[in-house]
Amino acid sequence: MLDKLEYTILRPDCTQAEIEALVKKAIDFQIFGVCIPPYWVKAAKRMAGSALSVVTVIGFPLGYQKTSVKLAEAEEAMADGADELDMVMNISAFRSGMESWVKGDIAQLAMACHKQEKLLKVIIETSLLQPAEIIRASEICISAGADFVKTSTGFGSAGATVENIRLIRAAIGSEAGIKASGGIKTLEFASQLVEAGANRIGTSSGPEVFIQG
């Protein structure tokens, strides 16, 4: 399980000391990576080096910034050392029927990431969507070039569920990734999400919680 974990802190009041402690623990437990605010990417990458992946967020947490703004965020984050970007889908545009715009928004971020050999995850905020919308949003993300669909920001009314992971996996097939995030606090729940099709687990709970046995 540890190789699937992204140890996360995205609270607006997090401190430098908390970021440093998060990175140190992630290295000590040899987990996959950390997911942190853009402001702290450069410092985290300096600490982590190649020991783990540094993941940050784009258009966070609401997603309705214009594409040019998200691109600027993405370019700066990658310049600071981010290995992967978790971009929030424009849910407002999606639910207004503007699927071609949403697809273009994601596609431009995907191209920018892939040009630098980085990965793009797209957060669809499942708590705001009906099942049919979750399926369609997931299809759009992958057809636009995203590498992963991510369930939640952690700021919505609910986080990952087994049912939604199954919906997303059925929609995108076996090749693309799924990151489950939001409310994942036990090894048992994380294991259920992985069994349902998740490839990554985003959690603010310490990695010691997710050790087998």
Q: List all residues 6 or more positions away from 182 whose beta carbon is below 8 Å from its beta carbon.
A: 127, 151, 152, 153, 154, 156, 158, 159, 160, 202
* Gyration radius of the chain's alpha carbons: 16
Q: Which segments of the chain does DSSP mark as H helices, in order?
A: 16-29, 41-48, 67-80, 91-95, 99-115, 131-143, 162-172, 187-196
In angstroms, how far is the first alpha carbon of the chain from the final one?
11
Q: Of 4, 118, 121, 179, which residue is the catalytic one?
A: 179
* Annotation says 70 is catalytic: no
* Annotation says 86 is catalytic: yes
Contact 116, 83 (CB under 8 A): no
Task: Write out the DSSP string of 80-132.
Answer: HT-SEEEEEP-HHHHHTT-HHHHHHHHHHHHHHHHHTT-EEEEE--GGGS-HH
* Annotation says 150 is catalytic: yes
Q: Of 80, 86, 105, 147, which residue is the catalytic one?
A: 86
Q: How far apart are CA 72 and CA 23, in angstroms?
A: 25
* Residues that are catalytic: 86, 150, 179
